[in-house]
Structure 1
Amino acid sequence: MRRFNARVMNWTHCHDSYGDTDRVPLLLEQVEAEDSAEAWDELEYRLVLEDDLVFPASFAAVPRLVRLAPRSARARHLVGAILRRAAGHHGCDDLLAHCSDAIAEFRQLLDQHLQSRPTDYLVTFVDALAAKEEYHWSAVLGNFVDDFYHLACPHCSVDVTIAMGDHGRYSAIRDWTLGDVDRRALRPASSEALRGTGRWMHETAVRDGHEDLADGIAYLFGQAECPRCASVFYVADEYTSANRPVLQ
């Protein structure tokens, strides 16, 4: 495992959500010395805003937060929240690059945590996706209990609703009066057919005993039939092409 120096950082231009450059380093020192709930609360609202905003101080704090993550769930969740926003318009590419070693260590930490089958499994799973730079799936992946994905058929361009949950797993045309009409059953991908991110997601969920999540992923990376033109397409490919964020 590569090691990194978590304290080498020039904070002069690393402002937080308040525009301050000196408060976050002090708060980091405080949580490193003691697990202060008050300090953690302030760190969170200085580093991450609910409308997906992050700041130079957010990325500057990542290496030191990763150091705390093995013993602090709040540190782990805060790093995950920052990384899930890394595809946004933050203008901090140089600071993100500075975190590369820390993020690599964070990926290993998350993988170990996933294997412990924690109660925060899905949160950790999407954080791991963000740490792998799979920002799109980190942002949209649900628990397949009541999930809907909306996309256009690649052949006839009709709007198609993809449903995956306790209500069924199907493609349909959504009618706001009648509901989902002309349903067509989805076709899950076999484990052997999965590649890339889909394969990693499925194998990880299977490894950790989360069969419902693995089953949903197989459908997400499987095929759907357009209710209008009857053409068949891959759900993940079409949804990704329509929704993947553009890195800045």
Structure 2
Amino acid sequence: MVNWTQMHDCYGDVDRVPALLEQVELEDKAEVWEELGHRLVLEHDLVFPAGFAALPRLMRLASRSAPARGLAGTILRRAAGHHGCDDLLADCSDEISEFRTLLDQHLQSRPVDYLAAFLDSLAAMEEYHWSAVLGDFTDDFHHLACPDCAVEVTIAIGDHGRYSAIRDWHLGDVDRRDLRPASPEKLSGTGRWMYETAVRDGHEALADGIAHLFGKAECPRCASVFDIADEYASADRPVLR
């Protein structure tokens, strides 16, 4: 049982969030959801204790409410941060497991918010890094340090191409080398789940981007070949609690 007297929202209130939750359970009003979202989550990945306290109720509502599903996913994506609410997350592990199943069913319906639900699913799997950094591969550029010579390598995976290069601010990306996508049968773990889910749901561009993300790149400076995902994870990993 949540002790709401200790669960403040972004305004320091302890009674408004439970009142709003009661309202949305009775009637799915957009203005109530808007206030609830503002009170639970601020920009810059900050979630207040009331957000994690509300999570079980939000996930139970998610099967019949798109705003509940979206808000629950937004909170989960920020669970890697410094929030001091580990006990609240542990207490709703069953709800998170059910929420993950619900999200998977939602993904199979090929919704317009597919990528958001995909990222929420990764958060529900505690894959907070990929949930935080994965894009849609339409215009994705990542700047990674070569693990051998330390030069900054630009990795492009998107409509502009799939290559590694050295970025020159006057000439653009020079000395391009084609990326080497991973073979689907050699993918494992989270990479395999991401790829197979995107393929299952008919998102070929996302699946192709994931195959390249978990593939290899050649450094244009020293010609060493490295795993993109390993360096990507190391460079962009969010600060964990």
TM-score class normalised by the smaller sequence: over 0.9
In 2: Cα distance, 1:242 partner to 1:102 partner: 32
TM-score, reference length from structure 2: 0.98
Partner of 2:205: 212
Paired AA for residue 100 in structure 2: R
Partner of 2:41: 48
In 2: Cα distance, 1:181 partner to 1:96 partner: 47
For residue 180 of structure 1, give the secondary structure of its aligned residue in structure 2: strand
RMSD: 0.9
- The answer to whether the 8 Å contact 1:205/1:214 transfers is yes
Partner of 2:172: 179
- The answer to whether the 8 Å contact 1:107/1:132 transfers is yes
Paired AA for residue 71 in structure 2: L
In 2: Cα distance, 1:34 partner to 1:236 partner: 44
Q: 1:145 aligns with which of 134, 138, 156?
A: 138
Please tell me whether residue 31 in structure 1 is matched to residue 24 in structure 2.
yes
Please tell me whether residue 121 in structure 1 is matched to residue 114 in structure 2.
yes
**Deviation of residue 98 (structure 1)?**
1.5
Paired AA for residue 132 in structure 1: M
Residue correspondence of structure 1 range 30-179 to structure 2 within 5 A: 30-179=23-172
What are the ranges of 5 or more consecutive residues in structure 2 without an aligned counterpart? Answer: none
Please tell me whether residue 196 in structure 1 is matched to residue 189 in structure 2.
yes
In 1: Cα distance, 2:200 partner to 2:11 partner: 42
In 1: Cα distance, 2:93 partner to 2:83 partner: 17
**Deviation of residue 187 (structure 1)?**
0.3
- The answer to whether the 8 Å contact 2:216/2:225 transfers is yes
Paired AA for residue 156 in structure 2: A
**Deviation of residue 93 (structure 1)?**
1.2
**Deviation of residue 246 (structure 1)?**
3.6
For residue 47 of structure 2, give the secondary structure of its aligned residue in structure 1: coil
Paired AA for residue 22 in structure 2: E
In 1: Cα distance, 2:239 partner to 2:91 partner: 21
- The answer to whether the 8 Å contact 1:59/1:99 transfers is no
Please tell me whether residue 237 in structure 1 is matched to residue 230 in structure 2.
yes
Paired AA for residue 143 in structure 1: D
Residue correspondence of structure 1 range 1-16 to structure 2 within 5 A: 8-16=1-9
In 1: Cα distance, 2:141 partner to 2:72 partner: 28
**Deviation of residue 101 (structure 1)?**
1.2
**Deviation of residue 242 (structure 1)?**
2.1
TM-score, reference length from structure 1: 0.95
For residue 192 of structure 1, give the secondary structure of its aligned residue in structure 2: helix
Q: 1:19 aligns with which of 2, 8, 12?
A: 12
Paired AA for residue 168 in structure 1: G
Percent identity among equivalent residues? 78
Partner of 1:3: none
In 1: Cα distance, 2:30 partner to 2:102 partner: 23
In 2: Cα distance, 1:238 partner to 1:51 partner: 24
In 2: Cα distance, 1:90 partner to 1:124 partner: 23
Paired AA for residue 47 in structure 1: L
What are the ranges of 5 or more consecutive residues in structure 1 without an aligned counterpart? Answer: 1-7
